[in-house]
Chains A and B, each alone.
Chain A
Amino acid sequence: MMEYGYYPGCSLTGSAKRLDQGVRRLCKKLGHSLAEIPDWNCCGALEYGDRNELVSISGENLKKAQGICREIIVPCPACYKNLKDADPERSFNIMSPLELLNPENLSQIEQKRDLKGQVFFPYYGCLLMRPEGNSIKNRNIMEDTISAFGGDVNGENMKDRCCGGNQLFLNKWATERLSTLILGKTKGTVVVFCPFCHMAMKTFATGRKVVYLTDLLLYVMGESNSL
């Protein structure tokens, strides 16, 4: 049982509400509590060319977290990268919820369903994997998790390719081409953890489900309407 700080980020209050709800429910089931950073602000995403401005915006959130928490759960990969960039001294432990899925926590999951006979493509995208120093430590965490519940995985060589999600509203043909390149070389349900990737894959996948890993885990735990 741990208490973590929580930085949802802007998209998790809107289009990625499902990821927010999934993370909160998953943490509750794992026995962890989340304390939302009070009055948090946008991290700046990928929209700022001025590094100092971006770090200043993201860093405001860490000032607000001071004295409240040292370990902060940050589900959105863009926020995760920016908050890490704003904390070069590593005064905080900025964590993706994926980093909670260690064997100890997974063993606590009360399994009501399995994933046997189902095929999945665990897709990380870019910002959970790069740049180096900011990436998650276990680069197979989604495969490990899905396999632990009996699911088959594929697409190892496409899992960190770019879906072009941040071009969706600028040059959608580019996003379509990059996403379909990935979709064409993989099979099964696409399992993501990034709001950008979810939207890009959902927009251009034909006849394939796109789900957050949190929803898949809640399905395994027997929650209805999780997928």
Chain B
Amino acid sequence: MIKEKDHEIVFKYTCYRREDFSVCVGCKICASVCSVNDLALNVNPQELLLKLFVGEKIADDHPLVRYCTSCYRCTAACPWQIRIPEVVRAVKESLGMESRFEKAFKKSLDIWGRVYEPFVVAMTALDLLRGGYIKYMPKWMGYAGFHLPHKVKRLKPTNASKGSNPSEEGRS
């Protein structure tokens, strides 16, 4: 659960300021186009913005946090073009809700500077086995192939920019 005092990290991550969400007029057009609602999960992204604006707790089992597909349909429909998927992503990271798959992705980037798919598959093999993905293997043969990882020589530490406080600057 994100408590009120932890909201600042979400603002820092997204580069939105609290007052940026004051423009939300509550039209719920984001909810009307949200792909998560095609999953019959009855979410309202506007409610998440409101919680951040007024400083309410956000539960870590929030279906939007779990299922947002980053489709940006909400952003395209929003009168203010608020990038709600990026807000959801920041909330997810603040909650420590990242899956093993997402962690393996970032780990690969830390090691090589690129995503090396065989590494991600190896790190998530148990999840793939338990999750019933084996039945898709015949369809996925076309994606298989072997190559050695390329180590990127020049890549700054990925959190190099975290020293600044972008939430005070807002979005350009």
A residues with CB within 8 A of B: 10-11, 13-18, 39-42, 44-53, 55-57, 60, 64, 88, 126-127, 129-132, 161-162, 164-167, 169-172, 174, 177-178, 181, 199, 202-203
Main secondary structure of the interface of B (DSSP, over half): helix
Bound Cα distance from A214 to B22, whole angstroms:
45
B30 to chain A, nearest CB (A): 13
Q: A60-B154, A162-B69, A177-B38 are in contact. List 8 more A-B contacts (CB 8 A).
A: A13-B114, A39-B152, A49-B90, A50-B12, A52-B15, A167-B67, A172-B133, A202-B139
Q: Is A131 touching B81 in the complex (CB atoms < 8 A)?
A: yes
8 A-B residue pairings within 8 Å (CB atoms): A14-B143, A41-B113, A50-B161, A52-B13, A88-B172, A131-B83, A161-B71, A181-B38
Interface residue ranges of B120-134 to A (CB < 8 Å): 124, 127-128, 131-133
* Count of B interface residues, CB-CB < 8 Å: 65
91-140 of chain B: CB within 8 A of chain A: 91-94, 99, 101-102, 105-106, 108-109, 113-118, 124, 127-128, 131-133, 136, 139-140
Closest to A89 in B: B172
Residue of A nearest to B159 (CB): A53
A126 to chain B, nearest CB (A): 4
Name the A residues within 8 Å of B70 (CB-CB).
46, 126, 166
Q: Which of B43-51, B52-60, B72-80 contacts A (4 or more CB under 8 A)?
A: B72-80
Q: B82 — nearest CB in chain A belongs to which residue?
A: A131
Chain B residues in the interface with A (C-beta under 8 A): 12-15, 35, 38-39, 66-67, 69-73, 75-76, 81, 83, 86, 89-94, 99, 101-102, 105-106, 108-109, 113-118, 124, 127-128, 131-133, 136, 139-140, 142-143, 145, 147, 150, 152-156, 158-162, 164, 166, 172
